[in-house]
Amino acid sequence: MVTSPAMTQHASAFATVGITGKPGDPSVAETVSRLLPLLTRRKCRILLDAETTAANAGGAAKAVPRGELAAGADLVIAVGGDGTLINTARSLANRDDVALMGINRGRLGFLVDVAPERLEEDVQHVLRGDCIVEERMLLSAEVRRDSNDSVVSSSLAVNDVVVHRWDTARMVELTTHIDGELLNHHRSDGLVVATPTGSTAYAMAGGGPITHPRLKAMVLVPICPHTLSNRPLVVDATSRVEVRVSPEHTHHVRVSCDSQEDLGVVEESRLVIRSHPTPLRLVHPPGYGYFDILRAKLGWGGPSGGGSRSQKR
């Protein structure tokens, strides 16, 4: 087994395994029915998300609320697409001793890298501890009132925090500061603040750079800026990013975290974005390669060389 500075290999098995799924997707039931015998043979305690996989409960499996699943599992398997995995990751955000793995029943799948046709083999590797556990940075976002610095609303993000216009066709005016230093006054459709994980999501669509997940950094990408010189910027992960919306545009702006939770912006307030203290522990089966994923998902040409999982097996 190979160990890199940002990836650790764990020899211990996972005793309690939680399963979440994409709601309303019939392929989830089929996948869970294949998972349960594997987990039972390993004598794992199985927790099923009551909202998404309860119909598959039976035998050694127990349907529980998401909060109980998040508190009790050593490993959580998310069945669906990247959105399903991100939704699950958000519920695990304050635990540093739980790992998360994705089985792809969605479309693109940058994060859910276990293919259905390799499910049995890859899951058995992971359950034996023959896997790669990689730490991914998260973001915390807070809307803070200026008068007393109180938190109006807060959330976290695996991919990105996006400031965007929502009920107007006009651009909005934003002011950004990094660690208290003025960065820019700009007019645009909004701003994406992304983790390295999220650099291949909305940030990439907006012209931002692809940032390797081992980097401890945040990517700031303006959305359709009025000034062509307003370019994407990469800052250190320890930075404190503050965004203020001009008063006349406050009611036309929303803050979206991973496109799954919205924070309202109030007058005389600012959005504060920092790295979350607890990283996400993402599990990959042996043979995982980040650049293999990029080539496969982005359709980059050329042979995969020695890094592909099929050639490593």
Beta bridge partners of 165: 253
Cα–chain-centroid distance for residue 118? 23
Of the residues 49, 82, 258, 292, only one is catalytic, namely 82
Alpha-helix runs per DSSP H in the chain: 26-41, 66-72, 82-91, 119-127, 202-205, 290-298, 309-312
DSSP 3-state of 265: coil
DSSP state of 4: B
Alpha-helix runs per DSSP H in 112-190: 119-127
Q: Helices H, strands E: what count in the chain?
A: 7, 20
Cα–chain-centroid distance for residue 293? 16
82 catalytic per annotation? yes
Q: Each residue of 148-187: b (16+ CB within 10 Å) or e?
A: eeeeebebbbbbbbbbbbeeeeebbbbebbbeeeebbebb
Half-sphere exposure of 273 (CA within 13 A, CB side): 35
CB 80 within 8 A of CB 22: yes
Q: How many CB atoms lie within 10 A of CB 248?
A: 9
Task: Give the pairing type, strands 160-165 and 253-257.
Answer: antiparallel
Cite the active site residues: 82
